[in-house]
Amino acid sequence: MDFNVKKLASDAGFTEEKLGQAEKTELDAHFENLLSRADCTKNWTEKIFRQTEVLLQPNPSARIEEFLYEKLDRKAPSRITNAELLGQYMQDAAKEFGAGGPYGSTLIKVGECERRLGGAEREFLQTSAISFLTPLRNFLEGDWRTISAEHELRVAQTEFDRQAEVTRLLLEGISSTHVNHLRCLHEFVEAQAAYYKQCHLHMQELQKELGRFPNAFAVNSVNSMAATGSSLPAGITSPVEADTLKIEEVQAPATGTRKAKVLYDYDAADSSELSLLADELITVYTVPGMDSDWLIGERGNQKGKVPVTYLELLS
């Protein structure tokens, strides 16, 4: 039932004296203002509550199921998130394809990241439900129902003063309700910010892990040509030849060097690689026979291989 507090107050004689023979008093004006604020708070709280429910659980069937469990005073079963399910599928697929291959090992890494993202999402949903949705629901099902019930109880003019005082005290509590909802809103925003920060960190870790993998397509192509006895194209060497590249003997070409900005920190895996710090500028170039995913990077007297995915090439 949709209660119109202002109409109820008017019908009960809150704002006008009997027979309309007197002007509104200061108490009437103040009380009417409190009624209006309470009605406005109730309407917007309902809208915010419903839309937050949709944000946290877009599936209408799942929301209905959770509502029924709540009304039956039973705990709803824990649901696996879509990201966790995707991560599980990727890891199961990796077991079928072989975890030792490039595709299988990458599936495992991505699957682990997706499961961490799903766990972060589930934690965000639980935190938001407790710190934000529950206080809003308590207001709608508690304070607001009490206010509405107090209006319905005023059936006689002789009860006007007592009922008006009770209702006035409840309505004046709307200000403290706003303060409480503001605090809950801050907690909701902090939880959402922490969730997206955690997602960002997970994806950075994944990107860093993928940057360490060799270019599987280039390696497979070279191995295939070597197995069939075909000669390699000019400028392309076998993986064995590339691995024997001695960094100290590499010289920068006369032309073709470029500046690059480092996007992420990178720790060198061995002495042939160059460690990087985010936001620094280095000089990069390529040499014949190098994997396309790598460049030679120089910083002062230091040089070594660096992954292209960690760089922003500058003109």
**pTM score, whole prediction:** 0.51
- Mean pLDDT of the chain, nearest integer: 78
Tens of pLDDT along 113-169? 999 999 999 899 989 988 999 899 898 888 888 877 765 665 455 566 777 777 777
SS3 28: helix
Report residue 154 as tokens: 């005023």
SS3 306: strand
List of domains in the chain: 27-174 (1.20.1270.60), 257-314 (2.30.30.40)
Largest separation between any pair of C-alpha atoms in the chain: 110
The C-alpha atoms of residue 183 and residue 61 are separated, in whole angstroms, by 31
Query: Which residues are CB-contacts of 95 (< 8 A; sequence separation ≥ 6)?
Result: 104
For the cut 90, the answer to whether the pLDDT of residue 94 exceeds it is: yes
Tens of pLDDT along 228-280? 444 444 444 444 344 456 777 788 887 888 999 999 999 998 888 999 999 99
Q: In the prediction, which pLDDT does 19 show?
A: 35
Left (φ > 0), alpha (ψ -120 to 50) or beta: where does 314 sit?
beta
- Smallest CA-to-CA distance from 209 within 93, 83, 302, 116 is with 116
Rg from Cα positions in the chain: 33
* Contact present, 91 and 74 (Cβ < 8 Å): no
Tens of pLDDT along 4-42? 545 544 554 444 444 344 444 455 678 778 778 888 999
For the cut 90, the answer to whether the pLDDT of residue 191 exceeds it is: yes
State how far Cα 300 lies from the chain centre. 41
